[in-house]
Each structure stands twice: as structure tokens, then as C-alpha cells.
Structure 1
Amino acid sequence: MESLDHTADISRGSSSEPLSSELSSLEINSQDFFMRSAKEGEQHPFTTRQILQKIVEHRLTALRRDQTRDQYITGKYCRRFYHELTRTLLIKIMPNPAHELAAESFKSLVSVKLHALNIDDEVWPYGSTTVTGGGWKKQADCCWAPASTNASLSLVVEVGLSESARRLALDAHGWLELQSSVKLVVTISIKSERPEIVFTRWELLPRIDGAITRASPASARRVVSLKLCRMNDTTSVTRESTMNGISTTSQLVIPFDKLVNRPPHHPTEKDLVITEEELKRLAERVWKEQGFL
């Protein structure tokens, strides 16, 4: 049984540091986590597509030159994460193919698992489809929904650079606490300066402080994090569950009932398990793209 932890922010640290030293408390008081993420970003007013394009290209160049680690900019009158009431647009920029490679590789792994369990007709991939909820129109890096729910997402994946770990945590809160159908979020934080990737699974769970209210009966919480590093031509996995930090396995488990929106009906229907070796292959593929291997 995996133990559970309060909201966490994965901050900068060397690959030799224990994972627990990189996971600190993230205090979130606002109900609207996407708006908080937007407020933390650099603000850019724009009224035409040409102005927006110049802003995005300027930030993309800065990311590629390692002049910034912030993938997000905020503006108006367009859509990526778009807030209807305030007409605020939060744009997430993917500066290199490693971001897309991680998302697509994870998507492929999930697809293989769904097929192996013979439920690929029950759970459909929706890519980066736009979802409306909590006043926002939002897009994930990839997502899935039970076929019976008309694209009401159950699993969402968000990928970001290492310095975007705080925003990834905010995204997890936003998806789970503002979009009622979402039961699972997986964040993938990629270091740009060294071969290191952190996979984190988040779920909506009862508040650990016991402060259950009508407005906030539960909160998004980190269930487990897996940090993959490459040193001395060897890829290692460090797993940290919550509470006691003890774990006997380095697998990423996606609960069947929360993904499919029903309990298993027979013994062959089980949780989706992405093994340690599969995670290592995914990480090494990304590191090759980054030039580390």
C-alpha cells in the first residue's frame, strides 16, 4: 500500500541529493491554481496574433539559449490555458523535442498497458484536447478518458523543465481540484542541465490536516515520486513514497478503478504498472535527445 504525502514542490538540487531534500511543502491558499500559475508568470498584453507570435518566439529563443527556465508566459485574447472571465491566456512553451518525446513515450507506454489488459476500447487517448472547467479552457500534454464518459478525463499528464516543477504541482492541483472527473495526474519534470527526470503521481485525497470544508473537501496530494538519474553509465531509480518514505518497488502504478471509472470485473483486470525498466528506457531516450547519452 503506497503511503501519502502533502502537496510537494520539486525544487532545484543535485542528482546526488536524496529525493526528500527536493520535495518541500507548497502552500496553496487560492482555489484557482491555474490563475495563481498565471499570476506568477511574466505578463504580456497582446491584441494581435503577430504580437503573440513575437512574444512566444522571443521566449522560445531564450529557453533554447538557457537564458531562462520559465516555460510559461501570460497574455490576453488567445487560448492555451484560457480564463474566460479575465480573458487571461497562460501559454506553455516546449523549447526542444525532449518535452514532446517524454509525453509521447509515456503515452505509448499507457497504450501498450491498456491493450495488454484488453481495455483499450474502454479508455481512449485524447492527446492535448481542450477541456473546459472552473472558468478555464485547458490543455494537458496528454490525457485519457473512459469511453463511456464523453471525454470526461480521468488521467492527465503534464511535462515540464526542472524549473517548472512548482508550476507542475500547481497544474496537478488545478486538474484534480477544479476538474471533477480527473482522478489521476502524472507530472514529469525533466532537468535540462543533467540527466535526471522525476515522475510524480498525484491524486485527490482527504486533507491531512482534517480541515474538511464544503469548499475544499479534499486536496491534490503526491502519492509517490520516482527520480531517475544517470551516473557512471548507469541509470538508477530512487523512489519516495510519503509518510515513512519506505518503498519496496520502483514501479509507477496507475490504479485501474480511477483510470477506467469502474472496479475490476475479473482477475485479469489489474492496475496499470509501468515497470522500472520501462521508465529507465523512457528516461534514456529523453537523455539521448538532450545529448547526455
Structure 2
Amino acid sequence: MENPSFAPDRASQPFHLSDSSNFTTDSTMPADHAELSTRRLRSHDVVRGSKEIPPVSGLPDSSSPVLQDSSFESGIDPTTERTAYILRKPSSRGEIKAIIEEIHDQLTSASPSHSQYLWVQYIKSDLFAELNDEKLALKGVRTTVFYEKNEILYKVMAGPFHEKIPRGMVSWIEHVFHPMHIEYWNEDFWSGGTGEKDGRFCSKQPDASFYPGPDPLPGQPIPWPSLVVEVGMSESARQLQADARWWYSNSGHQTKVVVLIDADPITHNANVEIWTPVLNQHRGADTRDRPTHVLECTQRAHLRNGVVQGADLRIPFQAVMRRPIANPLETDLILTAAQIRRICR
């Protein structure tokens, strides 16, 4: 499995937990943050101290062009590899659920933990099958499943705040389409929610997904969404960017718009990015394994203390609906400052 080609944008600092058996954290929480509460984790005997991670230097800008489409098929960013809580050889679904609940509690506390990801490794085949059968029943998490390695990366949502942001985005899209006479009830589009899609090396759940046209009948294959929303904390920005590129690459470029929102559940500050295909400026003379277009952040806005910095964000109508504009009522979708505040408040 190939690793993404870009690196994290900050130096790592060690964060230590109490000793126990088979749960490790390669976390990088700043020293002034409170240590992860381990009462429940200790009761399951699953916590072990984290390793110190050396600083990373010479890092590229997150918006630099991607050289190879395949470099983001793996579904996990190096920053997440370094900072995710790691559980090896879990004994049961209950053990995993208890750790997810502890991470969730910390994410919604006054001193939130530094990572919202739990990476479960070396899962026994019978438990792996059970987890895959029941993963949609787990509330407040999204999964990236590595079938060949029997591993699952869980993204733990930071409570109702992070859960409502993707719903707000879908409601906004429906609101914008209404005066264009593009309606769900007319089978002009449908929402796929957190429906899982299989990629080349793993499957992934979005936080929200949008599909033009009527929804498939039972038994019909489900297409790739045209638009995906991914939500996380500011510390998860690199993983969200890897997610965006994963959707574009693994969908065969059918997913052409990804909205990334990293938001602080305490301050409600947020960064909103629109990712769309751009010409690959680094393609060069040797075009083998180098796509003509890559997915990059083309627009962004920042919400700080209730004030939005940046211009209105424009989502191309044709990219979302997979057809040209057909009449004067149809226009690109404009996400205004007021709408950003409403979605992220």
C-alpha cells in the first residue's frame, strides 16, 4: 500500500499516557493540554504510553500540486499515522467501543485530545467480519477499512457540533436548488449520507454525500457521489485533504467537488475549503502515471469569532449535477458568509 506523498505541517511533540497493555498512542498533544483521562481505559487494561516522535522539517505547502493520482489511494495521511491512537489485537467489539467513547468524551471536554482517530490493527478475522457487518451501527464515527490488512481507521466525531455540520451543508444545497426547481421529490438528486464506497486499497465513509439524478432501485449499483463533505478538527486538516484526494482518485474522477470543514467544537472557529479539479502543472513531458488534472483546494474561507474572512465560495453547478446549466434559473451554488456562520455555529 502506497503512502500519500505529502507530509504533516508541524513538528511533533511527545504526549504520554499511563502504562498498560496493548493500546498505544503516537499522539502529539501540546504540553499544556490535560492528559487523556484513562479511568475507563484502565478498566479495560488497554492503555500504553506513547512514543516520542522526532520533529519533521522541510515540509511542502498543503496546496502544492499532486504529482501522482495513485499517491492518495491509500486513504491515510502520514500525520494521522503519527498522531492516531493505536489499538493492536483488540479482543472484542466492546473494547473498541469503550475507547471510542473515551476519545469522544475527551474531544468534547474543555481540554480536547489532540487526535480524533483510532487506528485498530491486527484484528482477528472473525472480529473483523463482525466489525464490518456492524460498522454502520456505530454512532458518531466514520470508518476507513483496509480489507487486505484487517485494519480499521475510526474517525470519532466531536459530538453534535461536528455531526450537524454535514447535515447543514446538505440542507444548504437543497435550499439553493429550490428556486432552480431542482428537487429531491422530482428525483433530480438524492443524498447518500455516510454511505460507504470501496476504493482500490480501502473503503471509506464520507460525512455527507450528494448524487445527481434519481436514487438507484434496490439491487442496482450505487454510483460515486458528485460532491462529498468531510468534517474534522483543525488537527485533522491533513487527513481531510488526503480524504479529498482519495475521493477524486478512487472514483475515477467522478467525485469532482469535496468540501472540507475543520472546526473547533469549543470556539466554533472553522476553515472551509472547496476542492475541485485543476490542471496538473507538474505533469511534465513524461505523462505516464501523471493525470492531466488533480484535485486541489481552489477556494477557502475562515470563520473566526463569528466573522468570516474571505470571499463567498462558489461550487460549480455542472460539477455537482454532472450536466451543463440548462436555463436562466440554474446557477453555480454560492456559499455566503452568513451561510457559513449558520452551518458552523
Q: What is the one-letter code of the residue matched to 2:105?
A: T
Q: What is the one-letter code of the residue matched to 2:309?
A: T
Q: What is the one-letter code of the residue matched to 2:86?
A: Q
Give the CA deviation at 1:169.
1.1
Distance 1:62-1:135 versus aligned 2 partners, 3 A rule = same
- Measured against aligned partners, the alpha-carbon deviations of 1:34-68 in whole angstroms (never above 9, x if no partner) come to 13466343321224211211221222233233241
Q: What is the one-letter code of the residue matched to 1:39?
A: E
Q: Which of 300, 303, 306 does residue 228 from structure 1 map onto?
A: 303
TM-score by length of 2: 0.66
Within 1, Cα distance between the matches of 2:227 and 2:322?
Answer: 10
Q: Which residue of 2 aligns with 1:42?
A: 85
- Measured against aligned partners, the alpha-carbon deviations of 1:51-94 in whole angstroms (never above 9, x if no partner) come to 21122122223323324131111114234211221222110101
Contact kept? 2:275, 2:295, Cα under 8 Å: yes
Within 1, Cα distance between the matches of 2:213 and 2:152?
Answer: 30
Are 1:72 and 2:117 an aligned pair? yes
Within 1, Cα distance between the matches of 2:213 and 2:9?
Answer: 33
Within 1, Cα distance between the matches of 2:10 and 2:318?
Answer: 31
Q: What is the one-letter code of the residue matched to 1:61?
A: D
Distance 1:123-1:89 versus aligned 2 partners, 3 A rule = same
Q: Which residue of 1 aligns with 2:14?
A: none
Match of 1:34, SS? coil
Within 2, Cα distance between the matches of 1:116 and 1:106?
Answer: 17
Within 1, Cα distance between the matches of 2:158 and 2:228?
Answer: 21
Number of equivalent positions:
254
Distance 1:208-1:72 versus aligned 2 partners, 3 A rule = same
Distance 1:8-1:36 versus aligned 2 partners, 3 A rule = closer
Match of 1:85, SS? helix
Within 1, Cα distance between the matches of 2:160 and 2:325?
Answer: 37
Q: Which residue of 2 aligns with 1:208?
A: 281
Q: Which residue of 2 aligns with 1:177?
A: 249
Q: Which residue of 1 aligns with 2:309?
A: 238
Match of 1:73, SS? strand
Distance 1:48-1:98 versus aligned 2 partners, 3 A rule = same
Are 1:158 and 2:230 an aligned pair? yes
Contact kept? 1:81, 1:89, Cα under 8 Å: yes
Within 2, Cα distance between the matches of 1:24 and 1:97?
Answer: 32
Contact kept? 2:63, 2:296, Cα under 8 Å: no
Are 1:58 and 2:124 an aligned pair? no
Q: What is the one-letter code of the residue matched to 2:290?
A: S
Q: Bigger CA drift: 81-90 or 142-151?
A: 142-151
Distance 1:162-1:69 versus aligned 2 partners, 3 A rule = same
Give the CA deviation at 1:190.
0.5
Q: Which residue of 2 aligns with 1:196?
A: 269
Match of 2:225, SS? coil
Distance 1:147-1:213 versus aligned 2 partners, 3 A rule = same
Distance 1:89-1:68 versus aligned 2 partners, 3 A rule = same
Q: What is the one-letter code of the residue matched to 2:196?
A: T
Give the CA deviation at 1:266.
1.8
Within 2, Cα distance between the matches of 1:113 and 1:198?
Answer: 21
Q: Which of 235, 239, 259 does residue 186 from structure 1 map onto?
A: 259
Higher fraction of strand? 1
Give the CA deviation at 1:198.
0.9
Question: Which protein, 1 or 2, shows the higher relative CO under an 8 Å CA cutoff with sep ≥ 6?
Answer: 1
Flag structure 2 segments of 5+ consecutive residues without an equivalent.
1-5, 12-59, 133-142, 217-221
Within 1, Cα distance between the matches of 2:227 and 2:259?
Answer: 8
Within 1, Cα distance between the matches of 2:198 and 2:314?
Answer: 27
TM-score by length of 1: 0.77
Within 2, Cα distance between the matches of 1:35 and 1:130?
Answer: 16
Flag structure 1 segments of 5+ consecutive residues without an equivalent.
1-6, 13-22, 240-249, 287-293
